[in-house]
Amino acid sequence: MSELTRIPAPEGVAPAAQYAHVVLGTGRFVAVSGQLALDEDGEVVGAGDPAAQARQVFENLHRCLAAAGATFDDVVKLTYFVTDMAHMPAIRAARAAYIPDDRLPAASAVRVAGLVRPEFLMEIEAFAVVAP
C-alpha cells in the first residue's frame, strides 16, 4: 500500500461531501477501466436494480485492483458514469463496503444518456497508486 495524503478541503474550496478534493501519492500507477454489472460469465447482474448493480461493479473493481496488486486503500480517484443521479445513494452504499469514510478518494460523477447496453445503470472506473 502506498502512502496517500487526502485533502478534503483545500483552503478557499468548499469542503467535499462523499469524496476528497485532492489525493497525493507516490508509487506505481494503476488504471482500472470502467466496470459494469457483469458477473464472471458476462451475464448482467441486477437488471433494473441500482443497488445490485453497484455491488457487482464494486466487486469487479475489487478483483481488478487485486489483479494489479492493489486494494481500495490505494485508490486515488473514482469516476462514476450513471444514467440517473438517483442511483448515487446505491453507489455510495456499495462503496462503503469497500472504502471507509476516512479513506475516500477523489471522485467525479457524470450523468450520461446511456451506456454500452441499455440494461446498465452505471459504469465506474478507478485510478490507484501502489507503493513501489
- What CATH number was assigned to the domain covering residues 4-130? 3.30.1330.40
Q: Does pTM top 0.85 for this prediction? A: yes
- Give the pLDDT of residue 74: 96
Place of cell 442511483: 87
In whole angstroms, give the CA distance from residue 59 to residue 25.
Answer: 24
Which pLDDT score, from 0 to 100, does residue 49 have? Answer: 98
Q: Whole-angstrom Cα distance, residue 127 to residue 12?
A: 26
pLDDT tens by residue, 89-109? 999 999 999 999 999 999 999
